[in-house]
């Protein structure tokens, strides 16, 4: 159905068309070690100050905040860790050059990465390592030898990969190549296929790891429908624990399978409406993760912080897999348009251009999701008119939650977020509200002024642009 429609849009620039592009396309002992002299004392204030300046001065605050959250550090500890790591990296690099073929790797330890250990196969190197401020450990295998063993495993795996052996790596701490195996027999088979590497360098350890590739769901990126055409992701969504994306209904019917921008298996259409409306959503496999972004100009990520519908005359930009990022203005809401397949209602008319393959893609005003591309006329060389299916009715119809960044952004005058009132009432984050809807919050009644999907931080007393007290 939509193949014919897409061809019509290409042939007749003035013909209204749906913009889908037809198919083109466990614990182990460390090695016996002989330690050199105790580590030298920490660098003096001048050296440490220089290291901190280099390592910390340009670090964005959110990086430090993430380190605090994920590593259990204070801000000061995170800063000292970065400084220590910068110094340790430089020291290890110098020692690697000096030790040459005897170098066997380096690692840091401690919450603040305050201890650097450098391994060598030659006991005579211990003094030089200690003089650099690091601890020395003497081991049987050089890093080059371990790298060679791993390379042999890589070649054997290319000839016959086995998911029973999901991971292998050089482990400098244990001076070995670790093969993590779900199936020990598969590990031994992989080792045998190397053609006789030194088995003393390899340790096989059990694992329950089942690694899988991870891909992002991002508005504007391409996806392919069962080998029959290409459309564009609208917005990443969740439905309970299920992840996926919203898109145009004419791109596929319930049960249609999809592959992603990289042609990797992605998901399945769960529901689709067209004509009448032009809405659909796709549930993706665990390999795909919903992100609160739309692909912007030059491939940069544009944040999605909410779904407040903007008024007629407002600027709006569209992201699609054929023509990328284009902008225009909102011309009319609540438009009806007739395609060869039938009439759809309730769409928004815009001056943004689009072409086949852009169907389903994202419309954004600022950081607010507006809708998914339905169809249009013209093209991005001579200009055109396009229609998008507003996102809030789509979310509401299928019980979806828009994926947004942590901070919902500012939909207008934020009011005073310091006193949102006592929680409770009928207002709930994740609910799609239409203009005129009434809720209670903190014992007070409010009327919705603009359609949106509620976000944490947008409680009615906080956002007078969205809610009016009644």
Return d(Cα 235, Cα 364) in angstroms, integer: 10
Please write down the HEC assignment for all residues of the chain: CHHHHHHHHHHCCCCCEECCEECCCCCCCCCCCCECCCCCCCCCHHHHHHHHHHHHCCCCHHHHHHHHHHHCCCHHHHHHHHHHHHHHHHHHHHHHHHHHHHEEEEEEECCCCCEEEEEECCHHHHHHHHHCCCEEEECCCCHHHHHHHHHHHHHHHHHCCCCCCCEEEEECCCCEEEEEECCHHHHHHHHHCCCCCCHHHEEEEECCCCCCCCEEEEECCEEEECCCEEEECCEEEEECCEEEEEECHHHCCCCCEEECCCCCEEEEEEEEECCECCEEEEEECCCEEEEEEEECHHHCEEECCECCCCCCCCEEEEEECCCEEEEEEEEEEEEEEEECCEEEEEEEEECCCCCCCCCCCEEEECCEEEEEEEEEEEECCCEEEEEEEEHHHHHHHHCCEECCCCCCCCCCCCCCCCCCCCCCECCCCCCEECCCCEEEECCEEEEECCCEECCCCCCHHHCCCCEEEC
Pick from 233, 272, 246: which is nearest to 1 by CA?
A: 272
Domain with CATH 3.30.300.50 in the chain: 143-206
Tell me, what's the pLDDT at 418?
43
Q: 143-206 maps to which CATH number? A: 3.30.300.50
Q: Which of 359, 367, 374, 377 is labelled catalytic?
A: 359
pLDDT of 241 reads 95
User: Among this protein's residues, is 359 annotated catalytic?
Assistant: yes
pLDDT at 25: 31
pLDDT of residue 223: 97
The verdict on whether 111 is a catalytic residue reads: no
d(CA 86, CA 90): 6
Give pLDDT tens digits along the chain (470 positions). 322 233 333 333 333 455 655 433 332 333 434 333 333 334 443 444 454 454 456 677 777 888 888 889 898 998 888 888 888 888 999 999 999 999 999 999 988 889 999 999 999 999 999 999 999 999 999 999 999 999 999 999 988 888 899 999 999 999 999 999 999 999 999 999 998 899 999 999 999 988 877 899 999 999 999 877 999 999 999 999 999 999 999 999 999 999 999 999 999 999 999 999 999 999 999 999 999 999 999 999 999 999 999 988 889 999 999 999 999 999 999 998 989 899 999 999 999 999 999 999 999 999 999 999 999 999 999 988 999 999 999 999 999 999 998 655 656 544 444 444 457 799 999 999 998 999 999 999 999 998 999 988 899 999 998 999 99
Q: Could you confirm whether 62 is annotated as catalytic?
A: no
CATH 2.10.10.20 domain range(s) in the chain: 411-470
Adjacency order of strands within the sheet including 265-273? 21-22, 229-232, 222-225, 257-259, 265-273, 279-284, 242-247, 235-239, 401-402
Residue 31: the pLDDT is 41
Cβ(10)–Cβ(376) below 8 Å? no
Looking at the chain, the domain(s) classified CATH 2.40.10.10 span 1-23+213-405
User: Which listed residue (125, 221, 278, 358) is catalytic?
Assistant: 278
d(CA 291, CA 362): 13
Long-range CB contacts for residues 326-329, cutoff 8 Å, separation at least 24: 326/352, 326/353, 326/354, 326/380, 327/352, 328/352, 328/353
**1-23+213-405 CATH fold:** Thrombin, subunit H (2.40.10)
- Of the residues 250, 326, 388, 452, which is catalytic? 250
What per-residue confidence (pLDDT) applies to 219? Answer: 97
Q: How many CB atoms lie within 10 A of CB 402?
A: 25
Separation CA 62–CA 70 (nearest Å): 12
Domain 411-470 has CATH 2.10.10.20: yes
Q: What integer pLDDT is reported at residue 263 of this predicted model?
A: 93
Tokens linked to 201:
């360098």
pTM: 0.68
Please check whether the domain covering 45-136 is classified as CATH 3.30.300: yes
């Amino acid at each position: 159905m939509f193949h014919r429609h897409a061809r019509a849009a290409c042939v007749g620039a003035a013909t209204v068309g749906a913009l889908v592009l037809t198919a083109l396309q466990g614990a182990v002992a460390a090695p016996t070690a002989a330690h050199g002299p105790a580590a030298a004392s920490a660098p003096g204030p001048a050296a440490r100050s220089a290291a901190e300046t280099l390592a910390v001065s340009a670090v964005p605050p959110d990086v430090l905040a993430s380190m605090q959250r994920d590593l259990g550090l204070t801000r000061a500890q995170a800063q000292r860790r970065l400084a220590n790591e910068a110094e340790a990296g430089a020291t290890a690099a110098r020692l690697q050059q000096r030790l040459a073929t005897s170098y066997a790797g380096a690692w840091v330890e401690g919450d603040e990465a305050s201890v650097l250990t450098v391994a060598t196969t030659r006991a005579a190197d211990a003094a030089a390592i200690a003089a650099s401020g690091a601890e020395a450990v003497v081991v049987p295998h050089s890093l080059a030898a371990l790298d060679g063993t791993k390379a042999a495993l890589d070649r054997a795996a290319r000839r016959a990969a086995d998911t029973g052996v999901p991971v292998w790596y050089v482990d400098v701490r244990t001076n070995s190549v670790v093969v993590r195996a779900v199936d020990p027999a598969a590990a031994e088979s992989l080792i045998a296929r190397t053609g006789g590497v030194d088995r003393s360098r390899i340790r096989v350890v059990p694992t329950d790891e089942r690694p899988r590739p991870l891909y992002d769901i991002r508005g504007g990126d391409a996806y392919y429908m069962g080998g029959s055409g290409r459309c564009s992701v609208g917005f990443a969504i969740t439905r309970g624990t299920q992840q996926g994306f919203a898109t145009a209904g004419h791109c596929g019917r319930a049960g249609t399978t999809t592959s992603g921008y990289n042609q990797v298996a992605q998901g399945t259409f769960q529901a689709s409406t067209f004509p009448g409306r032009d809405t659909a959503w796709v549930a993706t496999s665990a390999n795909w993760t919903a992100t609160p972004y739309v692909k912007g100009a030059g491939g940069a990520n544009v944040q999605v912080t909410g779904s407040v519908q903007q008024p007629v005359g407002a600027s709006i930009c569209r992201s699609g897999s054929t023509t990328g990022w284009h902008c225009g203005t909102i011309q009319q809401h609540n438009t009806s348009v007739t395609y060869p397949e039938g009439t759809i209602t309730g769409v928004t008319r815009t001056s943004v251009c689009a072409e086949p393959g852009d169907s389903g893609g994202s419309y954004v005003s600022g950081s607010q999701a507006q809708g998914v591309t339905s169809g249009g006329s013209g093209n991005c060389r001579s200009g055109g008119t396009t229609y998008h299916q507003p996102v809030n009715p789509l979310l509401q119809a299928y019980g979806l939650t828009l994926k947004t960044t942590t901070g919902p952004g500012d939909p207008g005058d934020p009011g005073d977020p310091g006193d949102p009132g006592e929680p409770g009432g009928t207002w709930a984050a994740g609910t799609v509200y239409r203009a005129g809807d009434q809720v209670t919050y903190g014992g007070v009644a409010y009327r919705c002024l603009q359609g949106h999907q509620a976000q944490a931080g947008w409680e009615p007393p906080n956002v007078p642009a969205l809610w009016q007290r009644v």
